[in-house]
Amino acid sequence: MQQDIVSQGVELMLYGMGTVVMFLALLVVATTVMSAFVGRYFPETEKVPAQPRKSATAPDDSELVAVISAAVHQHRGRK
């Protein structure tokens, strides 16, 4: 055991926490600048919904809808 493990730990804390705070502070600045820049120079012309697009399932939607339509028909036919 080195005699100065505590001081190593303190150093790690100071530099580590300092870096985390500095990095995220810079990220606040960068993000704010980026949002302003995008909002000013590249506003979205088309109206985009606020929530993220649920497009991950998109490739299957048409097929799913087809299957469902068929199922609904089948379901009704059975009645």
Partner 1 sequence: MENLLQLWNSSGLAQIGPGQAFMLVIGLLLLFLAIRKGFEPLLLVPIGFGGILANIPGAGLAYSAVENAVQGADPALMLDFARVLGVAATQSAKELLTAYAASDSATHLAIQQLAMDAGYGNGMLYSFYSVAIASGIAPLVIFMGVGAMTDFGPLLANPKTLFLGAAAQFGIFATVIGAVFLTSIGWMDFSISDAAAIGIIGGADGPTAIYVSSVLAPELLGAIAVAAYSYMALVPMIQPPIMRALTTEDERKIEMVQLRPVSQREKIVFPLVLLIMVAFLLPDAAPLLGMFCFGNLMKECGVVDRLSDTAQNALINITTIFLGLSVGSKLVADKFLDVNTLGILGLGIIAFGIGTASGILMAKLMNRFGSTPINPLIGSAGVSAVPMAARVSNKVGLEANPHNFLLMHAMGPNVAGVIGSAVAAGVMISLVGG
Tell me which residues touch a second copy (CB under 8 A): 54, 57, 61, 63-65, 67-69, 71-72, 74-75
What b/e sequence results for 42-74 when a residue is b if at least 16 CB atoms lie within 10 Å of its CB, and e otherwise?
eeeeeeeeeeeeeeeeeeeeeeeeeeeeeeeee
Q: Which of residues 19-78 bind partner 1 (CB under 8 A)?
A: 19-21, 23-28, 30-32, 34-35, 38-39, 42-44, 48, 50-53, 55-59
State the binding partner of 26 from a second copy, partner 1, none, CB within 5 to 8 A by kind.
partner 1
Question: What Rg do the C-alpha atoms of the chain give, in angstroms?
Answer: 27
